Chains A and B, each alone.
Chain A
Amino acid sequence: MEPFKQVEGRAYPFGRKNVDTDVIIPAEFLKTISREGLGEGAFKVVRAEEGNVFDDPEYTGAPILIAGDNFGCGSSREHAAWALDDMGVRVVIAPSFSDIFSSNAFKNGILTVELPQEAIDRLMEVAATDPITVDLDNQVVTTPFQDRLEFPIDPFRKSCLLAGLDEIGLTLESSDAISAYEQKITADKPWLKPEISA
């Protein structure tokens, strides 16, 4: 995974609340066995609307997306994160995110920034005309108009993003602890193994 440091650029002033992952990427695009090329289907339903932000040349290639409450709710499909990544989106800013989406985004090097609704309203205003900057190291969103909006982030996620760490590799460093747990469970709860065989 590419390390994440700072992103500066235009932001799609999308602003809607309860944007579900069916809207981010409809089911018809889930039949792929690859992680690539999903940007093509991203926000298909929104793109059918006249004057939508995603087809506005003003925002072409914007690395930031601003949305309302509960972004990424619904289906667990990681295709939503892959689609955003394929569109070139590196940061989504919203008042809240669904837990699964936020985790999927993080695992693909996409930062989810939670800011209160007033801050979102301000950024929507700025995004209409100017770029904004997201600095992960200092946990702050800034604008050319001296706005400074600090955001919280889980320290573990922050360090993984900054270093571009492979989480599986990280967990496998604890292989011995996992083996020890498995041995203990096999002894204490032998009934836990399901009666299945390949």
Chain B
Amino acid sequence: MAAWVDAILVFAVLTNLAVLGSSRLGLCIRMVAAQGIMIGLLPVVGHWHAVDARAVGLATASVLLKGFLVPWLLHWALVEANVRREVEPYIGYPMSVLIGVASLCLCLWLSARMPLPVAAGEAGTGASALAAPVAFFSILCGLLMIVSRRKALTQVLGYLVMENGIFTFGVALALEEPFLVEFGVLLDVVGAVFVMGVAVFHISREIHSIDTDQLSMLREERR
């Protein structure tokens, strides 16, 4: 199953780059949803030799939440907010992709020098040599999306991508980590995204835009 784990991780890298490089908000949401589904399958695929009820439960929950519920919520916010469905980045798309590729190199370099709990590529552990770099890469990509995009919705997407990175790290490397922690993180994410989705809707109704630059309008008085 190691090849399938690698396939999922490569898919995560490609969706990250695609989200950085695409201009349509709807496409970005679908990409992040697809990534959520694939990453959500990791607990089952990665620990194929010893699948238990907890792993199946975690996979089901995260696929349902990150692949279907959260994207549906974001689509709803997108439609309700009635904004231009373009990403409007501060950094151009080719530049974002280049920064993404550069940070992938950085992550590979970094995780080659990092003592990990499970030796990468060790037989039977389901740990892939790619897991740590891809996890860090997802976190960096999420961060980049949060700081370089203008729309509030893209920042929610960046947050989700970051969470996917943390999830990857937890599932692929920290084998003994109780799944309860993962469930806790998952619940946090859903809560946060729910709040953000509703907030985006209200921001757009209040100031007719979800441009985060204009949130300064919410101050009491202008100086």
Indicate, yes or no, whether A interacts with B: no
Q: Which residues of A contact B (CB under 8 A)?
A: none
- List chain B positions with a Cβ less than 8 A from chain A: none
